[in-house]
């Protein structure tokens, strides 16, 4: 990859094309998540790659190319989001309103959600988040980036990244609790047992 970056820096278009091929899916997916419509996502992703091509000459190779590209994409998305001031978010998860007390979610006797429905619900919760929480959670949960990488991309302090991720999760969790019947199937005894097993695997 470094070899490709060096070649692209010297103006080698074929090398740059390979870099585009390697990163375009992730970058577009990120932009789509952030902009939440295809047209804006395409524009943002395209801007990110063009900015990379224009700025490559001064890209310092001690930084990871993908982190840099992510940052350009996040910037492009932020620009677009600012421009169109996201209109009415379905359910407000405003700061003031919720850090709900963490209460037991009352099990409801409804049918278990299918995987698809569950996914739709979680995505709805994510998309209802204010941008500052949504951004870090997308990078963390959908792109599996580390706190440090997210800090490098968003130029936030590490502490801010951690607290935004935590807060965003609380807000999402509250949304899902309010929506009902999401958690009971995932917090059933079997799932809990499974989670405990996963956790202990992770710890060892």
- What are the CB-based long-range contacts (under 8 Å, 24+) for 56-64? 56/5, 56/8, 56/9, 56/16, 57/9, 59/5, 59/9, 61/2, 61/5, 61/6, 63/152, 64/149
Interface with other proteins includes 46 (CB under 8 A)? Answer: yes
Considering only 6, 92, 108, 123, the residue that binds other proteins (CB under 8 A) is 123
Based on CB atoms, which residue is closest to other proteins, 180 or 186? 186
Subset of 85-114 contacting other proteins (CB under 8 A): 99, 101-105
Task: Select the span of 67-75, 90-98, 127-135 touching other proteins (CB under 8 A).
Answer: 67-75
| Binding positions for other proteins, 143-182, rule CB under 8 A | 144, 146-147, 152, 155, 162-163, 165-166, 169-170, 172-173, 176-177, 182
Task: Pick the stretch among 24-32, 88-96, 127-135 that binds other proteins (CB under 8 A).
Answer: 24-32
Q: CB of 21: closest distance to other proteins in angstroms?
A: 7
Distance CA 141, CA 160 (A): 17
| Dist. CA 180–CA 174, nearest whole Å | 10
| Interaction of residue 3 with other proteins, rule CB under 8 A | no
Residue 136 interacting with other proteins (CB under 8 A) = no
* CB-neighbour burial class of residue 94 (10 A; exposed 0-12, middle 13-18, buried 19+): exposed
Among 1, 91, 178, 191, binds other proteins (CB under 8 A): 191
Percent helix, strand and coil across the chain, each to the nearest 5: 70, 0, 30
């Amino acid at each position: 990859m470094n070899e490709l970056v060096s070649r692209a820096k010297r103006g080698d278009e074929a090398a740059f094309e390979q870099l585009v091929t390697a990163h375009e899916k992730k970058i577009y997916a990120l932009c789509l998540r952030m902009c939440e419509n295809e047209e804006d996502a395409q524009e943002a992703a395209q801007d990110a790659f063009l900015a990379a091509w224009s700025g490559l000459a001064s890209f310092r190779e001690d930084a990871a190319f993908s982190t840099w590209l992510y940052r350009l994409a996040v910037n492009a998305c932020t620009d677009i989001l600012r421009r169109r001031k996201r209109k009415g978010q379905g359910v407000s998860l405003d700061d003031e309103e919720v850090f709900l007390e963490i209460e037991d979610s009352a099990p409801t006797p409804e049918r278990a959600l299918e995987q698809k429905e569950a996914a739709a619900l979680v995505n709805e919760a994510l998309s209802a988040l204010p941008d500052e929480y949504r951004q870090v959670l997308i990078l963390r949960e959908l792109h599996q980036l580390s706190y440090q990488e997210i800090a490098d991309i968003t130029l936030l302090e590490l502490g801010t990244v951690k607290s935004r991720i935590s807060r965003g999760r609380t807000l999402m969790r509250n949304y899902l609790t309010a929506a009902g019947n999401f958690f009971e199937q995932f917090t059933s005894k079997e799932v809990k047992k499974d989670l405990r097993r996963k956790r202990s695997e992770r710890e060892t």
